[in-house]
Amino acid sequence: MRLRDTESGDPDRDPFRVVNTALDEGVVMIDTAELYGNEELVGRTIAGRRDDVVLASKFGVVLTDSNPEGFEVHADAENVRRSCEASLRRLGTDRIDLYYLHHRSETVPIEETVGAMADLVRQGKIGAIGLSNVTADDLRRAHAVHPVAALQEHWSLAERTVERDLVPAAAELGVTLVAHSPTSHGVLHGAADDAAPADEKQVVLREIATTHGVSAGQLAIAWVHSRGPLHGLDVVPLPGTTRASHVRANVAAQEIVLGPEELRRLTAAWSPTA
């Protein structure tokens, strides 16, 4: 989301190095959106390795000052087609492997949106349909029109709302959960700051991370990895970074194996009701 061309002179922040480090480390999905303003950059970074990438993008959210929320959702069938064509041009590709509706619309029925996306699948312009920032009812209604491959939502130790309705619905329908912001936009990295006051949940995170010799952020990603078997669905953590060194650290988190008691302590400490 924050990937940008940089003139900082820091090779660790070079976007080509960041993306290619991810691919070299075995990451296959690269995720962007028309809203992020970096589709052209992402397209350039993967141009020589397009077949190595599951390329994901999103459409529908337009920033505006006229709406109290700061954005509008354009999810009508015509905009689906127009947005896809524009993203294909910016990405420099003839297909988007996973195409998401970025946010639910209050005015356009999701059946219309997904119906138009299904046409794009049949035309070969997108490979699969995804949804983001939707309700469980939206997911079920959309899936009845065309199979939904992935649901992208915020899921982390610090943000568990998705577990109430969306995770059970995704498990029921066989939809993969792509968990963006598994460190809650860096909040869980901050739990490792020994100079900062710590409450019980931060102490637990620090203790278990220290036991494994990893960072708090890596442990938070490992916790998200652990949710799949527990809830009966595929879970893909989607951490964002602008540094190649952080990419390596994020990838290394998949090797962390948490024991049952460690998972119980982490989950209980960070429970919304704790």
> Looking at the annotation, which residues are catalytic?
36
Axis-axis angle for helices 136-145, 110-122 (nearest 10): 40
CA angle 92, 96, 97 (to 5 degrees): 140
Q: Both ends of the chain: CA-CA distance in Å?
A: 31
- From the number of C-beta atoms within 10 Å of its C-beta (0-12, 13-18, 19+), residue 106 rates as exposed
Determine if residue 21 is left, alpha or beta; phi over 0 gives left, psi from -120 to 50 gives alpha, anything else beta: alpha
Residues 1, 36: contact at Cβ < 8 Å? yes
* Phi and psi, residue 116, nearest 5°: -70, -35
Specify which residues 114 forms β-bridges with.
Answer: none
* Element (DSSP H or E) covering residue 138: helix 136-145
3-state secondary structure of 71: strand
Token duo for residue 54: 């599951």
